[in-house]
Amino acid sequence: MPIGWSEKLKRNGFGWSLVLPSLLFLALFTYYPMLKSVWLSLHEKNLAVSEPLFVGFDNYVQLLKDPVFRQVFGNNIVFAVGTVPLSIVLAFLMALFADKAIKGRGLARLAFFYPNMIPMIAVANIWLFLYTPHFGLFAKLAAWIADQPVNLLGSPDTVMGALVFMMVWKEAGYFMIFYLAGMQQIPKDLYEAAAVSGLGTAASIRRITVPLTMPTTLFVSVVAITNAFKLVDHLWIMTKGGPNNSSNLLLYYIYDTTFNFYDQGMAAAMTVIMIVLLLLVSSLQFLRWDRKIHYE
């Protein structure tokens, strides 16, 4: 039976009025800011030029030439390459351990997950303390290994490693719970069958657990990469991006450029680069490559 016009109109109006409140806030704080960033990135606007002046792609060209931006961008890649695989592998191993029916696994789960409940800024305080020369536990440990006082956060060679270590500590337990969920969905029969065919524990993990948790791995990878670009709170407390920009990350540099150097055109251009980057990363997931990975 064909539905009448008024009926259709009513239903459409109803649907739209339900999504409208959300859409309004999304428009104000997601779509408009994105478009505004794109627009402003094509203009010069800073302390010297208060009215936006159209300069085309000049800001982008400047960025490519800017050694600090190149360094910060490189740092962010290093930070992602350092944190993402390590925290994913650790999360997988943690889940394997916490999933087994042994005594104390609840406790282990708790120990691995609790850093996720601590504010990033508090985490930064804790680790700044742990890394403080003469006082901090890890600083003492590093000094003992190197046989001389070490300032882990004060040297360009070690600062990135120290921050990666902290980030893995904070994140791995969060990713672990997704692996726990994934592993609980694997039928136990599979492992029993594998044992019968003489497959050892290591082999059955490699041939059953790893492939069947591939969708989880993909999801966690996207979250982890996004986090590597999104989480910069700790820099404010620990290093301010130093020494000599060696620990500076993209979002923190945007913050610095906006609120300390007041260069809005540049900040906008960097925001746009960030947006494009994140769109690329998350398209990995939304293109549903996970389905293909699954049947590999």
Partner 1 sequence: MDKPIKMPLLLNRNARKSGEDRLVSSKARAKRRAQQAFWHGIGFGFAALWIIPILWVARTAFMPKEAGISSTWSWAWTFDNLVRVWHAAPFGQFLWNTVIVCGGVLAVQLVTLTLAAYAFARVRFAGRDLVFLLFLLQIMIPPDILIFSNYQVLSEFGLLNTKVGIMLPYFASAFGVFLLRQAFKQLPYELEEAALVEGASRLRILSRIYVPLSRPIYVSFAIVSVSFHWNDFLWPLIVTNSVDNRLLTVGLAMFAKSTESGAQWTDVSAATLIVSAPLMIGFLLFQRKVIGSFMHSGIKG
Closest distance between partner 1 and the C-beta of residue 129, in Å?
6
Interface with partner 1 includes 4 (CB under 8 A)? no
Under a CB-based contact definition with an 8 Å cutoff, are residues 224 and 83 in contact? Answer: yes
Q: Rounded CA gap, 211 and 290, in Å?
A: 11
Q: Rounded CA gap, 259 and 214, in Å?
A: 42
**Mutual angle of helices 159-184 and 214-230, in 10-degree steps:** 150
Span interacting with partner 1, options 14-22, 60-68, 71-79, 151-159, rule CB under 8 A: 14-22
Q: In sequence order, what are the beta bridge partners of 53?
A: 44
Interface with partner 1 includes 274 (CB under 8 A)? yes
Q: Which of 55, 126, 160, 205 binds partner 1 (CB under 8 A)?
A: 126
Span interacting with partner 1, options 53-61, 67-75, 80-88, 190-198, rule CB under 8 A: 190-198
Helix (H, G, I), strand (E, B) or coil at 75: helix
Closest distance between partner 1 and the C-beta of residue 233, in Å?
4
Closer to partner 1 by Cβ: residue 15 or 74: 15
Interface with partner 1 includes 65 (CB under 8 A)? no
Helix (H, G, I), strand (E, B) or coil at 213: coil
Site for partner 1 in 96-125 (CB under 8 A): 97, 102, 104, 106-122, 125
Span interacting with partner 1, options 46-54, 69-77, 142-150, 251-259, rule CB under 8 A: 251-259
Interface with partner 1 includes 52 (CB under 8 A)? no
The residue type at 273: I
Span interacting with partner 1, options 55-63, 76-84, 130-138, 153-161, rule CB under 8 A: 130-138
Helix (H, G, I), strand (E, B) or coil at 43: strand
Interface with partner 1 includes 253 (CB under 8 A)? no
Closer to partner 1 by Cβ: residue 78 or 194: 194
Q: Rounded CA gap, 45 and 267, in Å?
A: 10
Under a CB-based contact definition with an 8 Å cutoff, are residues 233 and 120 in contact? Answer: yes
Please state, in angstroms and as integers, the Cα–Cα distance from residue 220 to each residue in 102, 233, 289, following that order: 26, 21, 14
Helix (H, G, I), strand (E, B) or coil at 100: coil
Q: Which of 30, 50, 155, 244 binds partner 1 (CB under 8 A)?
A: 30
Least Cα distance to 238 among 117, 86, 123 occurs for: 123
Interface with partner 1 includes 23 (CB under 8 A)? yes
Closest distance between partner 1 and the C-beta of residue 138, in Å?
9
Phi, psi of 53 (to 5 degrees): -115, 125
Site for partner 1 in 207-236 (CB under 8 A): 211-212, 216, 219-220, 223, 226, 229-230, 232-233, 236
Span interacting with partner 1, options 25-33, 59-67, 70-78, 149-157, rule CB under 8 A: 25-33
Alpha helices in 117-249 (DSSP H): 120-131, 137-146, 159-184, 188-196, 201-204, 210-212, 214-230, 233-238
Interface with partner 1 includes 187 (CB under 8 A)? yes
Interface with partner 1 includes 62 (CB under 8 A)? no
Q: Which of 4, 6, 260, 295 binds partner 1 (CB under 8 A)?
A: 295
Q: Rounded CA gap, 270 and 232, in Å?
A: 15
Closer to partner 1 by Cβ: residue 70 or 291: 291
